[in-house]
Structure 1
C-alpha cells in the first residue's frame, strides 16, 4: 500500500512538473529567418555552483534603484520594453528603414526566443532560486529552465537591431540592455552565465537577420518624376516613393493584392463637402490622427490574457504583427505610387480639411490598411473580441474621411488591402507548429496561475 502510494505521488509530481513547464516544445516551432531553433543550440553550460555567491551578492547589495530596474524590466514579456521603444522610433522615422527595423525586432526576438527554448529544454538548468534556498525570488517564478536567459536574449536582439538602424542610440540601448541583464540576476531568476549566453545568442541571430534582409530595401534612387493629370496627386517631395519596391516577407510581391484603380472622385468630393461634422466625428478624427489602431493595443491584450507569462507565445504574436505591418506597408505604398491618387483638398482647392494631409498620394489609405490588419489579425489572436477589433478597424478607417484627408474609396481600398495581407500572414503562421494561441494547454495553465 505504501509502495503504491509512493509511486502515485511520484507520478503526480512528474505530471505537475510537466504541466508547469512553459512551452517545452517551442524549440521546434518554425522560425522566420533562421533555419531552426536547433541550428542555434548553445553548448552545455558549466556548473552554476560558483555563480550562486554572485547572485547572492547582487541581492545583498540591492538598493531602491536596483529594485526599480527589476520591476521595470520584469513588466510584460521579455521583449515588451523593446517593443515600446521601437514603436516610437519607427513611427517617427522618415525613411523606409524604420518599418524594416520594426519587423526585424519582432522576427529576430521570436527566432532567438525559439532558439533559446531549444537550448533551455535540452539542458534543463535550474533557476538560481531553485538551485539554492538562500536566493530570493523578487519576481514571479518563471516556469522554464534558466539557460539561456530569455530577457537577455531579447536585449541582445534589440541592442543589435536598434544600433544598426538608429546608430545615434547605440550607447543608450547598450546601457539599457545591461540594466535588463543585471535586473534578472538580482531578481534571482538567472545566473550571470545565463545572461551572457542569452545576450550573445540574441545578438548573433539579430546580426544574421540584418544580413538576410539587407536587400529588402532597394538601392535605386527615385527618378523624381511626378505624373500630371486630372485625379492625380499634386505636390513636391512625396514621402516613400520607392517603398513599394521593398521585398516582402509573406506576400509574393508588393503588388499581389494591389487594388484596382481609384474611381472618379467627383461624387466622393460632393459627399465630403456635404458631410456635417460633430464633436464625436472630430474627436475620432483627431484621435486616430495621433494613434494607429494598433498603438499599445496588442501589448494590452497580451497582458489581459496573461500571455506575457509565456515568452515564446508573446514573441510569436509580436513577430506576426510586425511581419503583417511590414508587408501591409509595402503593399499599400506600392498601390499609392501605382495610382498617385489625389487628396480631397487638391481635387477641390476650396475645400478645407480638418487637418493637413500627409505628403504622399491618398489611394489607398495607410491608416485604413493598418486598421484592416488589426481587424483581421487581432481577431485571429483573440477571437472572442472579434467585434471589438472590427469596430476599431471601422472607426480608424472612417477617421480619415472625417479628417477630410481621404476619400471614402481610399479607406475602403485600404481596409480591404489590410484584410488580405493579414489573412495571408495568418495562413502562413497556422503551420508554424505553435498551435492555437488561446487553446494551447500551456497557456491555459499560465492563465490559471496568474489568477492565483
Structure 2
C-alpha cells in the first residue's frame, strides 16, 4: 500500500430532490500580490492580449463618469439584504466560484442514460438538450474537456484584463470618490477598468451555457449577481463592467471556435467503428477484448475521445506516450495482477475500503478531474492568489488533466483490454466503468494534476504525489483496474503534466 497522506475530502453525491452538490466552503482571503506584471504573461489561445480591443475609459473627472459614481452612491444608500448577501457571496475569487458552479453541473449531469425497452441506449442530443436523456452526459472525458476550456478562456481573459488595467490605470469607484464606500475588501492599487469580475462572469456564462444548455437561466442569474455585487460594493463602475463584457465576448468567441472544431463531436463513434476497433485490438494480440458488462450491453464511453485535439501535445507526441502492450492474458504477470485485484476487492473495511471509496468519483459526482479541481482551489485560497494567478493555475492543471484523458482514452481504444471482473466474474467492483481497462483514467488524470500542482506549490509536491498514488491504488482496491493499468496511467499522466510545467516556465509569470 502506498503511504497515505491524510486529507479530508467529501464524497459528492447527487441529491435526489434538490440536485444541490455539497461543497466545502473555502476561507475568506485577499490576494497577497497584484501580479502587476501580468500584462506580460503569455496567453494560451491568443497570440497577445492586444488581439482583444476595448474602448479607452472615460476620465475620472468627466461628467459621465461622475454620474456613474452618483448612481453607485444611490445604490448604496438603498442597499437591500439581497445585495448584501450577494456581496458576501462574491467577495472572494469569482474564478473559484465559477469552478464550483461547473463542478456542480458536472455532478448533476454525470448520470448514464437508462436503456430503452428494446435494449438500446438513447444518447443526449445537443440540438435538443431538454429531451431525455438531457444533454450532456457529463462523464469524465466530457468533464475534463469542460473544465479545461473554461479555465483556459478565463486565463486568456485575465491576461487581457491585466493588460488594460495597467495600461489605463483607472481605479475603483471607492478609491476615486470618498462618497462611495467599499463594501468589501478592496485592493486600492489594482485598477478597476476593466472589471475582472465582469470578465469572469461573462466568459464563464458564455462557455457554460454551451456546455450545459438546460441551465442557461441559472447561469445568467449568477453572472448578473456577480456583476451587480461589484457595482453595489463600490469596486466597479458601469463602464468598468461594460469593458469587461467586451473582453469576455471576444475571448469566448475565440475559445468556442476551437471547442466546436476539436473533434469531440465524433468521439462516440458508431457500431461499425466499434467493431473495427475491437478487431484491431484482436489483431494486436488481445485474446479477450473488452466488452460491456452492463445489461443490456451499453456502447463503450466515447471510444474515439483519444482523437480529440489536445492543448499541450501533438498527435505524434500522443502516440509516442502510448504505453507498451499490457501483459498477455495467459502470462504469469497477468495472473499475479488479477489475483491481487481479487484479493484487494474482497476487503470491505478499514483503510483499503476507505481509500477505495474516497477516490471512487463515479456517477453523480463531479468526476476525478473535478476532484482535483477542488484540491487545487483549496491550495489557491490558502496561497491567496490573485485572480490572474488563480486562472493560470487552473488553466495549466486542467489542460494537463484533459490532455491526459485524451491520451488515456487513446490507449484504452488501442488495446481494448478486458477489465478484471470480465476475466473473473467473481470480482465485485466499486462501480463498473463502461470502457476498456488499460490504462487507468483515475491514475492518468491524477498524475497529470499532481505533477502540475507540485510545480505550482512545491512545498506540497510530495503530498500531491502521494495523493495521486493513492488515487491509482484505489482502483485496484475497488476491483476496477490491474496494477499495470494504474502504473502505466501514472507514467503517462506525469509525462503530460511535465508539458504543462514547461508551458508555465515560459509564460512570463515567474
TM range (shorter): 0.7 to 0.9
2:39 paired residue number: 27
TM-score for the superposition, normalised by structure 2 = 0.77
How many Å apart are 1:58 and its aligned residue?
1.5
Per mean C-alpha deviation after superposition, the further-off stretch among 285-294 and 213-222 is 213-222
8 Å Cα contact 2:55/2:243 also seen in 1: no
Structure 1 unaligned residues grouped into runs of 5+ = 1-19, 436-452
8 Å Cα contact 2:72/2:232 also seen in 1: yes
What secondary structure is seen at the aligned counterpart in 2 of 1:361?
A: coil
User: In the alignment, which of 266, 269, 294 is matched to residue 335 of structure 2?
Assistant: 266
Residues 226-375 of structure 1: pairs in structure 2 closer than 5 A: 226-227=278-279, 230-235=287-292, 236=297, 237-253=299-315, 254-264=318-328, 265-275=334-344, 277=347, 278-290=349-361, 292=368, 293-307=371-385, 310-349=386-425, 351-375=426-450
What secondary structure is seen at the aligned counterpart in 1 of 2:402?
A: helix
1:389 paired residue number: 464
Deviations 1:312-350 (A, max 9, x none): 11111111112111111111101110111111110112x
User: In the alignment, which of 98, 101, 115 is matched to residue 160 of structure 2?
Assistant: 115
User: In the alignment, which of 49, 67, 91 is matched to residue 37 of structure 1?
Assistant: 49
Per mean C-alpha deviation after superposition, the further-off stretch among 61-70 and 359-368 is 61-70
Q: 1:256 to 1:214 in 2, by over 3 A?
A: farther
2:25 paired residue number: none
Query: Aligned Cα RMSD in Å?
Result: 1.8
1:167 paired residue number: 213
**Distance across 1 between alignment mates of 2:156 and 2:40:** 11
**Distance across 2 between alignment mates of 1:109 and 1:352:** 44
How many Å apart are 1:213 and its aligned residue?
3.5
**Distance across 1 between alignment mates of 2:96 and 2:51:** 26
**Distance across 2 between alignment mates of 1:274 and 1:298:** 33
How many Å apart are 1:38 and its aligned residue?
2.1
What secondary structure is seen at the aligned counterpart in 1 of 2:494?
A: helix
Structure 2 unaligned residues grouped into runs of 5+ = 1-31, 60-64, 111-135, 329-333, 362-366
Equivalenced residue count is 412
Going by fraction, where is helix more abundant, 1 or 2? 1
Q: Which has the higher contact order (CA 8 A, sep 6+)?
A: 2
TM-score for the superposition, normalised by structure 1 = 0.87
Residues 399-418 of structure 1: pairs in structure 2 closer than 5 A: 399-418=474-493
Q: 1:49 to 1:155 in 2, by over 3 A?
A: same
**Distance across 2 between alignment mates of 1:172 and 1:374:** 29
What secondary structure is seen at the aligned counterpart in 2 of 1:294?
A: helix
